[in-house]
Amino acid sequence: MHRRTFLGTLGVLAARHPVEAQSPAKVARIGFLSAVSAQAEAAYETAFRSALRDLGYVEGQTAVIEARYAGGRADRLLGLAAELVQLKLDVIVVSLTPAVRAAQQATRTVPIVMALSGDPVGERLVGQLARPGGNITGLSSAVPEIATKRVELLKTVAPDIARIAHLARATFAQRALSETEAAGRTLGLQVKTLLVRDPGELDQIFSSLKSARIGGLVVSLALQGQWRRIVDLSLLNRLPTVSGPREFVELGGLMAYGPTYADLFRRAATYVDKILKGAKPADLPIEQPTTFELVINLKTAKALGLTIPRSLLQRADQVIE
């Protein structure tokens, strides 16, 4: 083709598609609201951002993420949610049930994607999992058998215990508490629920465990910001512990069993992508975990004077030595 003919062809194409040639791609504006601190959320938020990149979004070019963290202070959540709504975002991603509730109170129109939540139906955040209605969808980590398995783990590593405690945040979902109590009854254990309203209460709570003859602890995900202190106090009081995420064990907790939480945040990115492409939250079914993992810390077991049964070690997805 002659140069003149080639340039002429380009001119025709430009004339036929002037809008395509000049219109920039729309930048997706995404909010991220967490009930805990940025440090506590770091691994999960990284998984979410990585999944967005895999879907073709480039931060600073085709996507902007506005993140807010309550740092474990429930009283800050509503203000942070309202702040995000004022930014005219396309969608808000939320982590943990208190953050979901705050976002729902702040807006009934901006789409909300739950990256991590407890029992959205029981908490009356949505009507049903299959067709949530309203502006909320995403993922729920509420799987009934998880509570039973965590209690079973404590009984397996410390077969002589008769009483355990469930350490939870005051705003934690009631379903998780009742399921832990039911699991304890099934296994012949008494379960004492201890609600933490302020981190400063932890020393006093642990002081009360000895007189109550507590032999093990189930530790709530919602107390993520206080895990380090809880682990230290548990070691000091020689109490075996179990929680959900592997990060609890990496900090020195004895065991973790639960969903692969980073996977939930990766899957949340697919919801964001669908909503940005026109899907309505009301029509997107809420999904539950598909992968679970058991992590055990042998260093902690040794410090507690416990011998982990070989059968349990063989079941573990990771053993920290």
| Domain at 28-142+260-291: CATH architecture | 3-Layer(aba) Sandwich (3.40)
Low-confidence ranges of the chain (pLDDT < 50): 1-24
**Cα 318 from chain centroid (whole Å):** 20
pLDDT in tens, 91-143: 999 998 889 999 999 999 999 999 988 888 878 889 899 999 899 999 998 78
| Predicted pLDDT at 183 | 85
> What is the location of CATH 3.40.50.2300 in the chain?
28-142+260-291, 145-259+293-320
Residues with Cβ within 8 Å of 204's Cβ and at least 6 positions away in sequence, in order, are none
| Predicted pLDDT at 3 | 38
DSSP bridge pairs for 191: 164
Beta-carbon count within 10 A of 73 CB = 16
| Predicted pLDDT at 177 | 76
| Predicted pLDDT at 201 | 87
For the domain made up of 145-259+293-320, the CATH class stated in words is alpha beta
| Predicted pLDDT at 90 | 98
DSSP bridge pairs for 217: 165, 241
| Predicted pLDDT at 171 | 58
Angstrom distance (rounded) from CA 195 to CA 82: 27
φ, ψ dihedrals at 167, nearest 5°: -90, 115
What is the reported pTM?
A: 0.82
| Predicted pLDDT at 4 | 38
